[in-house]
Amino acid sequence: MYASELTVLHSLTLAHSSYWTREPTGEEWVVEAILGINYGGQVGVENSASGLALALTSRPSNMSAFILNPSSTFKQVTTSSGIDTGLWTLDGKTLLLAANMNYEDTTLEAAELGLGSKGFGNGLTEVFCSGNCSVGDESVVLGSVGSVSEHESFVLY
């Protein structure tokens, strides 16, 4: 087993000896991150963690303004291709946070999120990418175990 596979295994299971059946608390999330580092996941952590922290709190994206606002509507979708997504809509704009859980490049189609023929619409702006990401009008290609966050101007109905 490779170190990266061990890191994922330990990060997901060691904190509680099993998978969570509910959303982890903030404290549990920190434990998960520390376990991942302790079991060999420190390579690249500084750049990835710093980039995500900036995207969460800085303009122009300020992802936390969507995620933490009680007026936001939230929708979670896990696609059949293994991409986990969260969509927060606030004031006519939507934040898409997507994580590729595969060890190969995977395409996220707008239609898989219930966006229909509208696709990702106009005004799509990439605000954070951990890995290789390619953004199109109707799909986003996420690199192997890559993550992308998109802030765009479509409205979910």
- Burial of residue 69 (CB within 10 Å: 0-12, 13-18, 19+) is exposed
- Per the model's pLDDT, the better-predicted residue between 8 and 147 turns out to be 147
Tokens of 131: 């890995």
Residues 6+ apart with CB under 8 A from 152: 93, 94, 96, 120, 121, 123, 124, 125
> Has residue 146 got a pLDDT over 70?
no
Residues 6+ apart with CB under 8 A from 7: 36, 39, 40, 41
Instruction: Give the total number of structural domains in the chain.
Output: 2
SS3 80: coil
Return d(Cα 17, Cα 19) in angstroms, integer. Answer: 7
Domain with residue 71: its CATH number is 2.60.40.1180
**Do 71 and 103 belong together in one domain?**
yes
Task: Write out pLDDT tens, residues 7-60.
Answer: 343 344 444 455 567 777 777 777 777 776 776 666 666 667 777 778 778 766
- pLDDT for 72 equals 94
Residue-averaged pLDDT of the chain: 72
Residue 89 counted as domain residue: yes
Q: What Rg value do the Cα atoms of the chain yield, rounded? A: 16
Residue 49 counted as domain residue: no
Range of the domain at 8: 3-43
- pLDDT for 43 equals 62
- pLDDT for 8 equals 40
With bands split at pLDDT 50, 70 and 90, how would you rate the model's confidence at 148? low
- Per the model's pLDDT, the better-predicted residue between 1 and 20 turns out to be 20
